[in-house]
Amino acid sequence: MIDFDAVNREAAGYRDQMVAFLRELVALPSESTEEGAVIERIRAELEATGAYDEIRTDGMGNLHARLGSGPVLIAIDAHIDTVGVEPRSEWAHDPYKGKLTDTHVFGRGAGDQEGAVPAMVYAGKIIRDLGLASDDWTLLLTFTVMEEDCDGLCWQYIVNEEGIRPDCVVVTDSTDCKILRGHRGRMEMGVWTKGRSCHGSMPEKGDNAVYKMARIVGEIEKLNDRLKADEFLGKGTITVSYIDCETPSRCAVPGGAFIHLDRRLTVGDTKESAVAEVKDAITRAGEQAEVKVLTYARPSYTGLVYETEKYFPTWCFDEDAPQVRAAVQTWGALFDEPPTVSRWTFSTNAVSIAGMFGIPAVGFGPAPEDVAHTVNDSVPIDHLVRCAAFYATFPHHFCAARAESGVAGAAAQS
């Protein structure tokens, strides 16, 4: 039997090491496609613990750390890239200094979502320290890249190219130490209007593509109000997130215009239905325009280009799913208060893990969602301790929950 009080004491004992490690991570800028330095720093920490049987980097640049070789493969995933910091003038402190208070670490990536990394790394150390490893399971930690640019792309690579398909994945993107069992999907679309350029001094001789697009934008705003809602996952949304035009000069009528659409998908939304809704909005505007689902094809920091369509499905698991039950049981064994079971508002790597591949997933990580991408990006220090204890003991409960459900073990790969 696991001594859960000992696990909590052990996690608390690594508090200072985890804080120092996190501050070093925050100090290394790691925007999408530029994560190499952070990957190497995490590798060094993994090696220093002496807890892991294998540490390697794949062709995309994702870092893998394996502990054990049992038949049930349990992965814990953190994306280690961040968004940028502009405008710097809005920050009350240097975003790359890892400002430390009595209760929090501040800085770009502290909350979203490098704060999970020390907890994951030291969870393996706790497992080794306390002899919690089991012949029943393999633990695979994945420190993944490019999520902010294209969430889930890293796991498309891991499943399709590395041949790794876990029995369960704990997604550590910000949950505020709540247990999350689903979130909306998302997709990105582009809309193009065409007009006829002419000199700006005689606009009546041209056909302004921006005016056409402006009418479409108004209908996109109205479309957002009409989108359906799900009782648990919430409402589908659509917004214009970027606008541009083609013009020969600043004193000419634009001959082309473009908008980028961010569409969040709730239960019942599909790629086809979302595209059809945008086409209907264009018709309501009385215009003609081209609509496309966009693709992503930026090279990773290793130089690999792994192109994908920007459609990422909705996913949700019931509360009685083994991985959700296991998360609740893990919480109950470690902590004195009742858990909160809910869902994310934003999107995570689980759009591929669960949405595309149907791999059982559950969310548990440090820091609240609402600090993500803000100048208040931060993580409570006590969340690092809680998460380390949680990650160290989750495999035990997941195997028990699987057995209760009568699910046979699969061969672990890593």
Give the residue numbers marked as catalytic: 81, 147
φ and ψ at 141, to 5 degrees?
-95, 130
- Cis? peptide before 17, omega within 30° of 0: no
CA 238, CA 408: separation in Å to the nearest integer?
41
Give SS3 for 96.
Answer: coil
Per the listing, tokens 């949405």 go with 355
φ and ψ at 303, to 5 degrees?
95, -5
Q: Are 96 and 377 in contact (CB under 8 A)?
A: no
Q: What is the CA radius of gyration of the chain?
A: 23
Q: How many CB atoms lie within 10 A of CB 381?
A: 20
325 Cβ contact partners less than 8 Å away, ≥ 6 residues apart:
319, 397, 401, 404
Q: Are 68 and 109 in contact (CB under 8 A)?
A: no
CA 170, CA 360: separation in Å to the nearest integer?
9
Q: Are 216 and 285 in contact (CB under 8 A)?
A: yes
Q: How many CB atoms lie within 10 A of CB 368?
A: 18
CA 399, CA 388: separation in Å to the nearest integer?
19
Per the listing, tokens 């214009």 go with 240
Pairing of strands 72-79, 54-57: unpaired
Amino acid at residue number 186? R
